[in-house]
Chain A
Amino acid sequence: MVSMETRSDFILKVSNLTVEVSSQRIIDNLSFGIKKGITLAIVGPNGAGKTTLFRALLNLIPHTGKIEWKRKVKIGYVPQILSVKDIPISVREFLSLKNESVSDIEAVLASVGLEGKTVVEKNLATLSGGEMRRVLIGWAIVDKPDVLLFDEPTSGVDLDSEEAIYGMLRRLTTRDKITLLLISHDLHIVREYSDYALALNKCLVFFGESKLIMNPDTQKLIYGEPVCKEYGEIDVGSTDL
């Protein structure tokens, strides 16, 4: 069940979330809550249920338990993969699928560093990994979301683009006060760019400040035999939404 009636100081509250796919339990009794304005990294080994968690938060898959978003919250989503190989569509046309306003599209292209470049008329399928990620960020923020869910922000991009993309995300969180939930495999990135980390291994195994993520005890919690925690709550962030 996804509802929009969470307590005023939380932007998202998840209670006893369980997801099963083909009778296999992917997420087991997960509970956590977060406040506005923080950057939360979701980490965990392969198959831990990270992408499944996003899909459940977006109400794209059946689940049990409760997912409560702040009332009227606008959510932007950036998936890991797009199937654009066979579709003749330009970057501008892709963005206009979501928002037809020419000025909004121009503004968003500028904010992701693609302003005035020929890339906007290029076929989406011919973009480099870095260009595609920028366009996807543009897609996610073109209608000014309160929360951004980002699955592997820098998968398939080179190191230079990686830094630029995280710099862009940092601007979004500091300047525009967007709450960011990102999935990442890279613990250095998690420590550098997120405030808090939630480690998943089917259930919640760690929930705390990202600066603790490289600590050997924390690593043991994340990658060792799962020891499930009952509830994680981050008591930070502004309360006005």
Chain B
Amino acid sequence: MSEALISSLIVGAAVGVAAGYLGSIMVLEKMALVGDALSHVALPGLALGFLLNFNPLVGGFVFLFLSAILIWHFSRVTKLSFETLVGAAFTLALAIGILLFGDNLDALEEALFGDISRVGILEAAIAVLVSIAVVALTKLIYRQIVLGLISEELATSKGISVARTNLLYLLLISLTVTIGIQITGTLLVGFLVVTPAAAAKIMSANMSKYITLSSVFGAISAISGILLSSYLNVVPGPLVVIAGIIIFIIAIIGKWRSKVKS
């Protein structure tokens, strides 16, 4: 097993857990597609990294986070929904990103689909640290967000600022998407925050099982996709998606069977 493959597996497992954990909130908030679309906003930042010769992931994160803050602010000012604003921002970002990449199609392909050959021990260590931070911070705001979902009145009457919590949450999405881009690229990274959580939700009646399963499914999808891609010598992103979808289908069949039995 090569160093690049081992590093990729570490990044995959770390991203899978963090994305699954965070994604469990996004699915509850019915913001799954927002997370998916938001991931594309990283593209202009990645392009600037390639063009100006600095780490594209730094550019991607800065673009993601600034866009997230702007969208958060505009949604408060205009009362437009997140979905509407993210929808506008992600198409604009894709357009700018493609223009910036110009005829550098190899770099564009890497940004869109990821490239695990560039992942080394340093990237793996960073991914693990970022994932630990994301899970820890998400744990801190999880209760508040769930309470806000159940009743904004209950949350506010407990002194919770729903707006401030949402801002921190957007920062966490930006961090998770940034480290996930290495494995799946901007085009498919949104999958990791959506599908594992959706499969877990089908199988769970309580919160602790839901969060645990979502994180585990995220890690299994990423690890099995990367291993298969190494075996078949293809890019890992699509195989990560297919592995996750298989878990999702198994969850649906399991639910259907338990309904038939009862």
The interface of chain A, by Cβ under 8 A from chain B, is 55, 58, 60, 75, 77, 79, 81-84, 86-90, 93-94, 97-98, 121-123, 126, 139
Contacts and interface: CB of A to CB of B under 8 A. Distances in A.
Interface stretch (B15-23, B153-161, B248-256): B153-161
B153 A55 contact: yes
Contact of A83 (B149, B207, B210): B149
Contacts of A55: 153
Contact of A88 (B143, B154, B204): B204
A89 B153 contact: no
Contact of A89 (B30, B154, B156, B207): B207
Contacts of B151: 79, 81-83
B91 to A, nearest CB: 28
A60 B147 contact: no
A221 to B, nearest CB: 30
A60 B157 contact: yes
Contacts of B206: 88-90, 93, 121, 123
B40 interface: no
A97 B30 CA distance: 21
Given A84-B150, A93-B207, 16 more contacts: A60-B156, A75-B157, A77-B157, A82-B150, A82-B154, A83-B150, A86-B30, A87-B150, A88-B209, A88-B210, A89-B146, A90-B206, A97-B143, A97-B147, A98-B158, A123-B206
A139 B150 CA distance: 13
Interface in B162-220: 201, 204-210
A82 B147 CA distance: 10
7 contacts: A60-B156, A60-B157, A79-B151, A88-B209, A89-B150, A89-B207, A126-B205
A90 B147 contact: no
A87 B149 contact: yes
Given A97-B146, A97-B147, A90 B207 contact: yes
A82 B204 CA distance: 20
Interface in B196-246: 201, 204-210
A97 B149 CA distance: 12
B129 interface: no
A51 B153 CA distance: 12
Given A93-B207, A97-B143, A97-B147, A88 B157 contact: no
Given A55-B153, A58-B156, A77-B153, A86 B28 contact: yes
Given A79-B151, A82-B150, A87-B146, A93 B208 contact: yes
Contacts of B209: 88
Which one of B143, B149, B207, B208 has the greatest number of beta carbons of chain A within 10 Å? B207
A144 to B, nearest CB: 15
Which one of B146, B156, B204, B206 has the greatest number of beta carbons of chain A within 10 Å? B206
Contacts of A94: 150
A230 to B, nearest CB: 29
Contacts of B204: 88
A161 B155 CA distance: 27
B144 to A, nearest CB: 9
A99 B143 CA distance: 11
A89 B146 CA distance: 9
Contacts of A97: 143, 146-147, 150
A14 B209 CA distance: 46
Given A86-B28, A87-B146, A123 B154 contact: no
B153 A60 contact: yes
A84 B156 CA distance: 17
Contacts of A77: 153-154, 157
Contacts of A93: 206-208
A88 B153 contact: no
